[in-house]
Amino acid sequence: MNVHQLSIAYVAEQDRILVRVNTLQGQELRFWFTRRLTLGLMPLLDRAVTDHVARQGGPATSHVAAMDDLSRKAVAQFQREETLKSSDFSTPYRTPPQPVALFDSPLLVTEINLTPLSNGQLRLGFAEKLTDGPAPRSFQMGLTDPLIHAFVHLLERALAQSQWRDAAAAATPERKDGPPGPERPAYLN
């Protein structure tokens, strides 16, 4: 699947993130990310992108794989910023005139698989496996470096708009009574 355009937006009425992919073949994919899935995905996606950048070759970056995590993250962030400088986020997403939808309704993504490919792409596999729903649906797409960074950037923007991280942080109490240590049990009565 050759990605032409990508749109990721928070839809407040659904309290979900809608991802739309417009392909060069005139197909359109739509799928939903829930709060739980997105908050669990972001650390894994950040790690996968950092590892992916470290694996990318060439004499200038071959030493990246041997760096410590903090340095690898800094190199990945630098590459992301450089890639985003040349990305086009101003062109509005355009639905194809007669879109060929791969699915009759948007997928509610319940599983995501990240796989680095030998050609330098990162394959994302999306699956909808509902216990009481129709048969499982899934698809995969390979993202080049610019698309990987654009995907993460757009997902970060939608996540910021949703304020899900703020709500998760507010729900986690901070310890103020000393150095970090094992959690003490909490009693309701």
Angle at 31 between CA 97 and CA 119, to 5 degrees: 90
pLDDT at 58: 47
Q: Chain centroid to CA 32: how far?
A: 12
pLDDT at 183: 64
List the pLDDT tens digit at each of the 189 positions of the chain.
678 889 999 999 999 999 999 888 888 889 999 999 999 999 998 888 888 777 775 445 555 555 677 777 777 777 777 777 777 777 777 776 666 667 888 999 999 999 888 887 889 999 999 888 778 999 998 888 888 888 999 999 999 999 998 877 777 766 555 555 566 665 555
Q: Which residues of 135-174 are buried (b: 16+ CB within 10 A; e: fewer)?
A: eebebebbbebebbbbbbbbbeebbeebebeeeeeeeeee
pLDDT at 168: 73
pLDDT at 40: 93
pLDDT at 12: 95
All domains of the chain in start order, with CATH: 3-171 (3.30.2450)
pLDDT at 69: 74
- Check: CB of residue 7 under 8 Å from CB of residue 19: yes
